[in-house]
Amino acid sequence: MYDDKELQEYRDLLKPPDHFEEGFNWKTIVGAIFIGFLMMPGSMYLQLVIGTGIGPAARWVTIILFAEIAKRAYSDLKQQEIFLLYYMAGAAMSSPFQGLLWNQYLVQSDAAKMLGLTELIPSWIAPQPESIALLERTFLHPDWLIPILLLVGSQIIQRIDQFGLGYALYRITSDVEKLPFPMAPVGALGTIALAESKEEKVTSWKWRVFSIGGVIGLAFGSIYILLPALSGLIFTEPIRLIPMPWIELTRHTESILPAVATGIQLDLTLIFLGMVLPFWAVIGGLIGLLITVVVNPVLYHHGILTSWHQGMGTVETVFANNFDFYMSFGIGLGLSIGLIGLWQVGKSFWGPNQKNRGSLKDLLHPPPGRGDFDFKIAIAIYVFSTIAYIILCTVLVPTFPWIFFLIYGFVYTPVISYITARMEGIAGQFVSLPLVREASFIAGAKYFGYQGIEIWYAPIPIHNYGQATVNFREIELTGTSFRGIIKAEFIVFPVVMIASLLFSQFIWHLAPIPSASYPYAQEMWHLQALNTLLMQSSTLEGNSLFYQALNGTTVVSGIGFGLLTYGILTLFGLPILLIYGIVRGLGQSTPHGLILEVLGALLGRFFFLKRYGKQWRQYAPVLLAGFSCGMGLTGMFAMGFTLILKSLSSTAF
């Protein structure tokens, strides 16, 4: 199997430790509460305003704050304590109730009305538009009781579920098969970089790099986030020196580049992200974008992109092109990626690395001190959670054939999860077979008489646990015991649920979502609703828009293009990461952000890597973490001012 040199560099960044500690104590408990009740609202606000939250920033701010407190207490934070704070921060920032904010929009959206689906959206997802709960913008109403209970129950099963099949596959692929997991060190390095011992007499490069990123993030965030937020509170219109979410150029280039969405997203985060992502994956994204720039006018002039017309902006152009061509082509590309993944996994069983494999003895006797639990318990958790999902689905959607739920949970899920786990372990790539879930829903409607859209919202047991193996590998590389992670889950879950409900209620009550107060949601949610509901219309009787958009010939051409590209890359020994990037570039979801990502990748590859050597691989994640921290702080300030002043303005004097 072709061994990518770039993946080898990531693979060698970090080696597993010999000593493990739990890291769970009062510091991590206070850290979870701090993040949930102080930083979660800022992240939720930024998601609605600019489309990205402060997840990474919340993690680093918490770590820095607690590290400084520890210094003043003549103590320090151990590496395991830092990682546990990082882990709990990620869990605390998930904000599950933001899903209900989306649901309330979906049921009231113009897209649902246009497609005639409003009354078909089930009440256990969101109340109907005439409900007092939606008119008064509140979750504290009986109409929301069932959706909230369903959300909480699903979250409980999900938190337990991650220690089931995902952990079992980690034990198989890491302990028995000894796969290297090349991308896991990237995730672990950020926290390790900030773990300094008492013996270090001078400030290390880690803090300097983090501080540089933080200052840049504060400066940019003050212009990009804080200025519009504060000016919007003072003036009738906010002052935006940098357009959000992007500079729209489609209407200016439509005569030269018909059916091409053009523009640029001036979010500096993309440059730092491009420095961290694998170089060839970013370049592949650029190639995919350039292909659309060349091909779209040709497709338009040949009568394939018929839905596009002059005057459309980015959102309308992307949706029209997806409807006419790219949805079907993307399905074919995704299938080709799945076939390539299956081929690579099959070939890896006979590769040269098989001499490093362990035995089943390693499955029963994991490394001492790592905090492992019995392999049989993991399988039992997987069986329990899958059965719970199946029972829940049969109750919510009794008219859908229950045999599908069994196949999802006990056939498809373990197979695709193992394939993905091996691909993550070998090449750091996620494998998915597109539209398996959707195709099964359509088959249920076509051959078993199901009619409706409730199945699209049911928590069906079709999961891919392959990604979880990387998370467990990151935990291992930081020397953190799995027992500490399990204890952390018991603390972080109630914090997440309570804080998420309170702040979702508060933000929604301040202004309708979406509205001018939340620019990103106002710009993008309509497109997302159109794409979502278009697919859901496929399980209704009649000639739905989904069937009009689906084209078998285009699907086959997508498969052929993907396989041909893979063959050419393999023939010339080019990085396989290119094809994954090309698929992302052809996805057309947010094409304007790729430009700055490529700029960041070029700067990292041809300037910083030459100047700092392989050490740059360690600098880049820490620099991104610092920048995210600075951006997050400005987001928190903006959120704080907004909440306080709007609350005061709504108070009766």
Task: Convert the pLDDT of each residue in 425-483 to its tens digit.
Answer: 776 667 666 667 877 888 788 778 888 888 899 998 988 888 888 889 888 888 888 88
State the distance between the two ends of the chain, measured CA to CA, in whole angstroms: 73
Closest Cα to residue 267, out of 526, 590, 42?
590
CA distances, 554 to each of 158, 322, 530, 549 (Å): 36, 12, 21, 10
d(CA 546, CA 538): 5
Q: Work out the mean pLDDT of the chain and round it to a whole number.
A: 80
CA angle 490/463/442 to nearest 5° reads 140
User: Residue ranges of the alpha helices (H) in 349-481?
Assistant: 360-364, 375-396, 402-407, 413-427, 436-447, 466-477
Token pair, residue 324, equals: 């006419």
DSSP H or E stretch at residue 248: strand 247-248
**Which residue, chain included where needed, has tokens 């913008």?**
137
Closest Cα to residue 276, out of 597, 639, 637, 612?
597
CA distances, 178 to each of 260, 362, 438, 461, 464 (Å): 46, 10, 35, 29, 21
pLDDT for 31 equals: 78
pLDDT for 197 equals: 43
d(CA 71, CA 350): 52
pLDDT for 395 equals: 92
Closest Cα to residue 190, out of 492, 628, 631?
628
Residue type, 376: K
Distance of CA 466 to the CA centre of its chain: 15
pLDDT, averaged per 10 consecutive residues of the chain (653 residues), comes to: 51 71 81 78 76 64 73 75 81 78 90 86 89 90 91 88 89 80 71 55 65 90 86 80 84 90 87 85 85 90 89 83 82 76 63 54 75 89 93 91 90 85 74 72 80 88 87 87 88 87 86 82 84 82 63 86 84 75 64 86 91 83 80 76 66 43
DSSP H or E stretch at residue 583: helix 577-586
d(CA 314, CA 264): 11
d(CA 173, CA 428): 13
pLDDT for 619 equals: 84
Distance of CA 15 to the CA centre of its chain: 26
d(CA 452, CA 460): 16
537, 545 in Cβ contact below 8 A? yes
pLDDT for 278 equals: 78
Token pair, residue 146, equals: 């069932």
- The torsion angles phi and psi of 263, rounded to 5 degrees, stand at 155, 180
Closest Cα to residue 520, out of 59, 105, 213?
105
d(CA 107, CA 117): 8
Q: Report the C-alpha dihedral over residues 204, 210, 213, 217, rounded to 10 degrees.
A: -140
Cβ-in-10-Å burial (0-12, 13-18, 19+) of 567 comes to: exposed
pLDDT for 453 equals: 87
**Which residue, chain included where needed, has tokens 């609350």?**
647
171, 372 in Cβ contact below 8 A? yes
Say how many residues make up the chain: 653
Token pair, residue 584, equals: 């992302």
DSSP H or E stretch at residue 49: helix 40-49
d(CA 230, CA 211): 25
d(CA 597, CA 277): 9
Q: What is the DSSP letter of 366?
A: P
The DSSP result for 298-326, as a single string, is: HHHHTTSS-S--TT--HHHHHHHHIIIII
